[in-house]
Structure formats: structure tokens, C-alpha cells
Amino acid sequence: MSSLNKLRVGIIGLGHWGPHIVRNFSTDRRCSVRYVCDLLDSTFQRVENLIRADCAKTTRAEELIQSSEVDAVVIATSASTHYQLVKQALQARKHVFCEKPLTLDWKQDQELNDLAAHFGLKLMVGYTFLFNSAVRKLKKLITQDHLGQLYYITTARTHMGLVRQDTSVVWDLATHDVAIMNYLLDSVPEQVSAVGSHPLGLENPDVAFIHLFYPNEMLGQIQVSWVDANKERMVRVIGSKARAVFNDLDGLEPLRLFKKGIDLDTETQPDFGEFKFLLRDGDILSPKIQQHEPLRMIIDSFVCSVLDNAENITDGIFARNISKSIAAVHRSMSNNGVPEKVEY
């Protein structure tokens, strides 16, 4: 670490997310971006106005990783490259922030976790939705029992466009939703079942419907698609007291609370074994949310975890547990939706 107690950062990958990552690290007062790397020289112009004049540029990741001017390596490359790059960075005694998923194999995740623990390094994975202000507010509402007993969570994450050739729609999109569910529930699924299809003719599924079975009969359902013209980023949490809806595409009211529900009528005797239920109608609330850029918040969390040893909620263990669920999802899809247990 530098004498000024700034985290000296090297960033690998200047593609889709790269410039946003460079911007946030460059404007963090506790960081200094010392190196940027991409395979193509032409991409450096995308961050030219975001970095200092003395920031080094290279097309060789190894050069950045081995530099004595770098304390932490940020990896924003395609998922299939993560394992080797993260491993090299940890072996070079660098802290690591890696875009999600950590790898495409939970066993590789575990290996990287073991490496980080062995060298006393921080390993954080970019599940940015956990740093979304509306998701944080939703977590608080659940914790404070505003939704009552939770029944199930459903999510939809669909679009038409941006198709990744090196992985499936499940690894690309569903990992966000598994992360959100695990975070909201403070739990992990015990079993999953899933079906998928290949309308684009790709090797990996580009449409998937996933069911997750959490402890205490808590259910999760995920819909992901690369071929749906209706773009959605939706999370619905159904509880005994209320229903919460998070719509990431709604800039004005991203989170709404519907105080509607159904209750068992305990006053009336059942007729011939048929119980009566009472519909409960209530207010629709839009909680006040102080909006912050999620990427800014997760990067700040990473910096604090390195410099202050602060809590890291999306560490390598969190990422490995998601990878185990996704591996089970793929096994289930390969077996026509037969449920698969998730071993932790």
C-alpha cells in the first residue's frame, strides 16, 4: 500500500462496463488508478479523459498484475477469462474485485477463495444489485416485518440484444436474481429445478425458467431471456402482510408496497371442510429512496474492505454459493427439469 494510504488500482478490461468502473475508481478519493489494460489499443481512448496522465496503459494483463505500482486488480473481462486472471492476481498478492460471475465453475470459485484466505487478501465479486438503494430498502422492509411471513419471490430479467457467446443466459442474467434472493432471505436454495431452450440456436440456453426451493417452504421463481422484446428488470416479494415490487426500469418509483392480501376467516365455521378467506385491501405505498449509483456503492465497499477491513457482503464465498446453485440449474435443464439438490 502506498504511503498516502491510497489504494493503487489496476483495471483489466475496458469493454462494456470498463469505462464506468474506471470512472468510479478514478473519482474515489481513496483510490489511485495506476494501470489500465485491454487487448485492443483502440479502447484506451474510451477512458482517456477519466485517467491521469501518468496512468500506465498495456495490452498485457500479466504486466499490470505484476506491477509493484498496483495493490488491487479489477477484472472486467468476459466470464470465461475470470478464473485465470483472478488466480494470477491473487498469486501476485493483489486484492481482487471481479465482475460477476467469479468463474463458471464453483470448484474454481472455491480454489480462488482458498487462495485469497491463504494470502490474507480481499476478493469481492460485482453483484451490484445488492447495492441498489431500492433493493437495500426492500431488505429493510422485510427485516422490519412490513411484509409479514414471506411466501415466495418471483423475478423477470429479459431483453432482446446483448447476447454473450461464452456463457448461458443463466450465468449472464439469473445470477443477479439468485444473488438478490439469497441477500433478501439471508439463505441459500436447497434444491432447484429448471428448463431452458435455444431459440437462437446457440450451444448454451438463451431462455430459462428456474424454480428455487429455500428452507421453510420459501419458493423462488426466475425467468430470464435474451430473446424477449419486452425488457424487464422486476422482483416481486409476496408476504402475508404486503406485496413488494421492485422495478429497476422505473426511475421515479422503483419500489412499491401493496398492502393487500388474503386472510383465513377464523370467525366463521367451515362448511363441509371448506375454509373461507377474507380479501384484505389496503394502501399502495412508494417508499422514499435516496438513489445512489450501485456501481459507486459496491466499489466504495471494496475499497473500505481493503483499507478498513470492513464487511464484504459479496465476497468469494457468496459468489461460490451462487455458482453452486447455477451448476444445479444447468444439471436440471440437461435432465428436462428434474429437481437437483444444491450441496454447500
At 27-44, the pLDDT tens digits run 999 999 999 999 998 889
User: Under a CB-based contact definition with an 8 Å cutoff, are residues 100 and 319 in contact?
Assistant: yes
Residue 85 and residue 227 share a domain = no
pLDDT of residue 157: 97
Q: What average pLDDT does this structure show over 327-331? A: 97
Domain count, the chain: 2
List pLDDT tens digits, range 310-322.
999 999 999 999 9
Terminal Cα-to-Cα distance of the chain (whole angstroms): 35
Tell me, yes or no, whether 141 and 265 share the same domain: yes
Q: Which domain holds residue 232?
A: 130-292+324-341
Same domain for 204 and 234, yes or no, is yes
pLDDT of residue 274: 60
Least confident of 278-282, 285-289, 329-333: 278-282
User: Which residues is 75 bridged to in the sheet?
Assistant: 12, 98
Q: Please tell me whether residues 105 and 205 are part of one structural domain.
A: no
d(CA 336, CA 93): 44
Tell me which of 300 and 161 has the higher pLDDT: 300
For cell 429497476, name the residue: 248
pLDDT band of residue 132 (cuts 50, 70, 90) is very high
On whether both 153 and 227 belong to a single domain, the answer is yes
pLDDT at position 9 is: 98
Upper half-sphere CA count for residue 212 (Cβ side, 13 Å): 33
Cα dihedral across residues 318, 320, 323, 325: positive or negative = negative
Q: Chain centroid to CA 108: how far?
A: 18
Q: Is residue 115 in some structural domain?
A: yes
Q: Cell numbers 484466505 label which residue?
A: 117
Residue 208, domain CATH: 3.30.360.10
- pLDDT > 70? residue 226: yes
Assign 245 to helix, strand or coil. Answer: strand
- Which amino acid is it at 261? G
In the predicted model, is pLDDT for residue 277 greater than 90?
no
Q: How many other CB atoms are there within 10 angstroms of residue 27's CB atom?
A: 12
**How many residues in total does the chain contain?**
344
Does residue 160 sit in the same domain as residue 285? yes
**Is the pLDDT reported for residue 273 higher than 60?**
no
Q: Where are the alpha helices (DSSP H) in 69-224?
A: 82-91, 106-119, 133-143, 169, 175-185
> Do 49 and 150 belong to one domain?
no
In a domain, 134, yes or no: yes
Cis, peptide link before residue 101, omega less than 30° from 0: yes
Question: Domain for residue 1, yes or no?
Answer: no
> Average per-residue pLDDT in the chain?
92
Stronger pLDDT, 266 or 33, i.e. the higher one: 33
